Chains A and B, each alone.
Chain A
């Protein structure tokens, strides 16, 4: 067989191929040009840690002109949308994983697979926990790199109040929870408090309970809202039962008290237990010597939903995404690559931040994390920590559905409607919104 190519051509071709492979396999080159970054939300420790890390990025990439801005997490959607419409969107957006389907559907962000260099994403996979990294996926593509996740739902317990009521471990089932909460209630201190405002975190907390009961807010396959299915209704009935037992603050008080305020009230000894996300009280502080513990939220005695019950639901609230309108994708990817390095991912390894579930594998070896959350670390080392966990609800129209769910929760907490009535109504309203959004 004779090849139809000259030696000269062969040499040029092979040299070019070798050079290309050498560039791809070699160390990352320093990025250049201007790079804007918008970061939304974070704990006080993260708000300080992020700019400090940016200085390290600039030291590695001295030719990058970095314009970093921090914003409140609650305004991210309108800020990002306004930036997109006015063509002034940042190159890198650090927002919530739940936003990904809508941002991708809107064309605000682009798949990282399309702009990553050869082997770059595989390299990230060596340092990131796979279950956490997959929460940045949408439609089979990686749209964002999570640096940590928060999980729902958990229970913070005042251990002194628990012992005083005659128990030696946190409640493990819903029926135990009702029993414990009632026993731990005093005239001036309810046994349990849960946030019931319209804040997204308050809704996520409830969703964690309902998903563990086999409920779902939406079925992507059928395009149908599932708010009034048994898994959701029975979870909301648990809220109603706790109130009816007299174990909670007044319903009117819980509808005006969000997750952060509820955590603070727990820290002040104004409730013996509170339902929250995985960080529980850590970002908001508790008095010195306050004897409390965090535990997974009790499981349903018999899950009643039609979907598989989950162990927990999780979402990252600092997921790095690249704008579809960036003019400097190289610098944007260099910035994301920087945040996938162990030094940065260890921010969530117990020092300085202990309030999150870290995305970095190396962070799980940190002594700080083991000291703060020994049960987490042992479960992770046994390979059980993420078992049965699923991403928090994420689909186009999720905000509309969660808003309807929040209204239903409040109606039940206020005693205006039964869970079935409230969720039937919410289901209808949410379906109308979904139909409108999806055309």
Chain B
């Protein structure tokens, strides 16, 4: 076959994927974008080409809290998820019988359904009957029961901890695989040159896994942004909106208040926020991203 027919065959082969992306990604995104510029409540369209939904958002006293909580949720969740994932992944990369077993066991939190995870943690963290608060009291860390999910100052960070517990295993396994693929001779050469364990990790392993690290960070950020079940089942956005994040508030506006226009406007803000953070992150890490992509 000549080069021209090869090109047409390539186009033909990617056609189903392009069609799927258009139908399931770009189509709904466009729909949400236009809906955000439409006053649409209770199933009735009341005019297109208006910024009334965005104005309602800015005027909403809850929205500021939602933005701050969402920043904690996405940025805190991603940072802790990747950092603990990296630490656990580095440990799992060591060859031993224990780590071999742990590589399989660590996926347990990942395979549990979201609702089961949320309900189990909700009860473990409960102020009156939770085992975690009870353990704190028994060892003398607290003189009274702690309501981890009922305390407005603690609740967002508790959600982040549960999120990390749930999402970190896959991050750890991906990074473990990346670390194990680092050429042994490079590590050995660094060791012969007198590099200690930290220096070998910093100057040999990290540069080698930078592409995987960047990819897994971006993917984690997207996962966490889309996560709804954990916060909704555990707190419902409470107490007093102190764990209200974009995904729960979009749900509330759209499906509880039937206010689709405002829900869509919030989705657009969420998308722009995510694109900005991911874009900035990829720009900062453009070298490792480009190097990995060219391999």
Chain A residues with CB under 8 Å of chain B are: 77-78, 81, 84-85, 102, 105-107, 196-199, 249-257, 261, 265, 270, 396-397, 399-400, 403, 406-407, 410-411, 413-414, 416, 425, 429, 432-433, 436-437, 439
Q: Contact at A105–B150, with CB atoms within 8 Å? A: no
**Chain B residues with a Cβ closer than 8 Å to the other chain, count:** 38
Which residues of B have CB within 8 Å of A106?
42-43, 258
Tell me the minimal C-beta distance from B23 to chain A in angstroms. 15
Q: Contact at B238–A198, with CB atoms within 8 Å? A: yes
Tell me the minimal C-beta distance from B63 to chain A in angstroms. 11
Tell me the minimal C-beta distance from B154 to chain A in angstroms. 9
Q: Give per-residue flags for B241-255: 1 if the beta carbon is below 8 A from chain A beta carbons, else 0.
A: 100000000011011
Q: Contact at B152–A414, with CB atoms within 8 Å? A: yes
- Interface status of B62 (Cβ within 8 A of chain A): yes
Q: Contact at A250–B147, with CB atoms within 8 Å? A: yes
Tell me the minimal C-beta distance from A241 to chain B in angstroms. 19
Which residues of B have CB within 8 Å of A199?
236
Closest to A85 in B: B43
Q: Contact at A197–B127, with CB atoms within 8 Å? A: no
The complex places the Cα of A411 from the Cα of B128 at a distance, in Å, of 20
Which residues of B have CB within 8 Å of A196?
239
Q: Contact at B61–A429, with CB atoms within 8 Å? A: yes
- Interface status of B220 (Cβ within 8 A of chain A): no
- Interface status of B59 (Cβ within 8 A of chain A): yes
Q: Give per-residue flags for B203-225: 1 if the beta carbon is below 8 A from chain A beta carbons, else 0.
A: 00000000000000000000000
**Complex interface residues of chain B between 39 and 85 (CB less than 8 A to chain A):** 39, 41-43, 46, 56, 59-62
Which residues of B have CB within 8 Å of A102?
42, 258
The complex places the Cα of A250 from the Cα of B150 at a distance, in Å, of 9
**Complex interface residues of chain B between 116 and 175 (CB less than 8 A to chain A):** 122, 126-129, 144-145, 147, 149-152
Which residues of B have CB within 8 Å of A81?
43, 255, 258
Q: Contact at A253–B150, with CB atoms within 8 Å? A: yes
Q: Contact at B256–A414, with CB atoms within 8 Å? A: no
Q: Contact at B150–A255, with CB atoms within 8 Å? A: yes
- Interface status of B266 (Cβ within 8 A of chain A): no
Which residues of B have CB within 8 Å of A78?
251, 254-255
Q: Contact at A436–B150, with CB atoms within 8 Å? A: no
Q: Contact at A436–B56, with CB atoms within 8 Å? A: yes
Q: Contact at A256–B255, with CB atoms within 8 Å? A: no
Q: Contact at A250–B236, with CB atoms within 8 Å? A: no
Closest to B127 in A: A253
A77-B255, A105-B42 are known contacts. Are A255 and B240 too (CB-CB below 8 A)? yes
Tell me the minimal C-beta distance from B189 to chain A in angstroms. 55
Q: Contact at A253–B128, with CB atoms within 8 Å? A: yes
**Complex interface residues of chain B between 257 and 272 (CB less than 8 A to chain A):** 257-259, 262
Q: Contact at B42–A197, with CB atoms within 8 Å? A: no
Q: Contact at B43–A437, with CB atoms within 8 Å? A: no
Which residues of A have CB within 8 Å of B149?
256
Q: Give per-residue flags for B22-45: 1 if the beta carbon is below 8 A from chain A beta carbons, else 0.
A: 000000000000000001011100
Q: Contact at A265–B152, with CB atoms within 8 Å? A: no
Select the residue from A196, A249, A407 with max chain B CB neighbours within 10 A: A407
Q: Contact at B236–A107, with CB atoms within 8 Å? A: no
Which residues of A have CB within 8 Å of B240?
255, 407, 410-411, 414, 416
- Interface status of B231 (Cβ within 8 A of chain A): no
Which residues of A have CB within 8 Å of B89?
none
The complex places the Cα of A256 from the Cα of B61 at a distance, in Å, of 23
Which residues of B have CB within 8 Å of A407?
62, 238, 240-241
Which residues of A have CB within 8 Å of B41?
436-437, 439
Which residues of B have CB within 8 Å of A249?
127-128
Select the residue from B126, B145, B240 with max chain A CB neighbours within 10 A: B240
Q: Contact at B150–A252, with CB atoms within 8 Å? A: yes
Tell me the minimal C-beta distance from B31 to chain A in angstroms. 12
Closest to A417 in B: B240
Q: Contact at A429–B239, with CB atoms within 8 Å? A: no
Q: Contact at B128–A197, with CB atoms within 8 Å? A: no
Cβ-neighbour of A403 out of B239, B254, B256 (below 8 A): B256
Cβ-neighbour of B238 out of A265, A400, A410 (below 8 A): A410
Can you list 24 residue pairs at the A/B interface with Cβ under 8 Å? A78-B251, A78-B254, A81-B255, A105-B42, A106-B42, A198-B237, A198-B238, A249-B127, A252-B127, A252-B147, A253-B147, A254-B150, A255-B239, A256-B126, A256-B150, A257-B128, A265-B129, A270-B128, A399-B258, A400-B256, A407-B240, A414-B239, A429-B61, A436-B262
The complex places the Cα of A77 from the Cα of B259 at a distance, in Å, of 12
Tell me the minimal C-beta distance from B155 to chain A in angstroms. 9
Which residues of A have CB within 8 Å of B235?
256
